[in-house]
Amino acid sequence: MLELIRLPLKKNTLLRLILSVGLCLICVSPLLAIEKPGEDLKEVGLLTNPGDQIDPELSFQDSFGNEVTLNDYLGSGHPLIVVPSFYNCPRLCGLVLNGLTELLNKLDLEMGQDYQVVVVSFDSTETPEHATKIREKYLSMFNGKGDPATGWHYLVGNEDSVSQLMGQLGFKYVPDGDDFAHAAAIMLLTPEGKISQYFTGISFPDWDVRLALVEASKGAIGSALDQVMLFCFRFDPTKGRYTWFAMNVMRAGGSLTLLLLGGLMFILWRRERKQKVSNSKEV
């Protein structure tokens, strides 16, 4: 090892080594500042609680300054997409909202009629003006189906309402200077305000989200084909996607086989009966 240390280094090699180490320190330092590794990170993350009831009467303000509750959006009888966000977030929240917009542009359901979207700031110091600025930005990027003016809402709230809602959703976050350390996720609620599904990350599969919305609505939206898909697929929380449900596929295959056998037996029975009638007439 000592012999290796004594080996001469070329100037270029030494310079590259110094630059590489410097770049690593520059890149890592902001990450350490953002994420604050240590005990605080135990308070950051997502606790998934499907089936839990959200309090629909928690009070918030929309981007127009109106007093609203989640029940104002759940009252339509359709499922609700809830997106925890921080409107002044310089990094992760923008990526989540970009991914959400891409999802909504691809989603083959009518926003405002089949489902509603609510983005809620978890920074209780933010105001309706902050919500308005973000709302205008992302509504201008929407080119999907439905009316975002009536189906896509941006809310702010006081510390009590915000902390209660985030706690009920299982969304854990901690202040980090002027920023927050937090997870990236969207949640789907049933029309009754129960948590139906979670989708994590900054991009969301439109086919899976569509099925989750249809499932959350209990058949109130979607097509007959969606119901068939839900029979054959089940949501896998470990993968965050719908996957084949082998038991139902086997049942469907068995039912189809019995149906085909029954049809074949009926055809053969009718053919045999016709043959007997024909033979009796000849005699």
Which of 190, 222, 254 represents a domain boundary (last residue)?
A: 222
Per-residue pLDDT tens for 62-107?
Answer: 999 999 999 999 977 889 999 999 999 988 999 999 999 999 999 9
Do 138 and 218 have their domain in common? Answer: yes
**pLDDT, position 210:** 94
Per-residue pLDDT tens for 225-273?
Answer: 666 665 676 667 766 677 765 444 444 444 546 566 566 666 766 776 6
How far apart are the C-alpha atoms of 204 and 102, rounded to whole Å? Answer: 8
Domain that holds residue 102: 45-222
- pLDDT for 149 beyond 80: yes
Residue 276 belongs to a domain: no
Do 72 and 177 have their domain in common? Answer: yes
**pLDDT, position 44:** 86
Do 51 and 147 have their domain in common? Answer: yes
Identify whether the C-beta of residue 162 lies closer than 8 Å to the C-beta of residue 125. Answer: no
CATH of the domain at 95: 3.40.30.10
> Which band of pLDDT confidence, cut at 50, 70 and 90, is reported for residue 218?
confident
Higher pLDDT, 175 or 155: 155
Residue 273 belongs to a domain: no
- pLDDT for 1 beyond 80: no
Residue 18 belongs to a domain: no
Residue 84 belongs to a domain: yes
Do 145 and 238 have their domain in common? Answer: no
Do 185 and 236 have their domain in common? Answer: no
> Which band of pLDDT confidence, cut at 50, 70 and 90, is reported for residue 10?
very low
Task: Provide the domain count of the chain.
Answer: 2
List the one residue out of 176, 32, 24, 34 whose CA is nearest residue 91: 34
Residue 27 belongs to a domain: no
Residue 37 belongs to a domain: no
Q: What angle do CA 99, 225, 262 make, to 5 degrees?
A: 150
Do 54 and 191 have their domain in common? Answer: yes
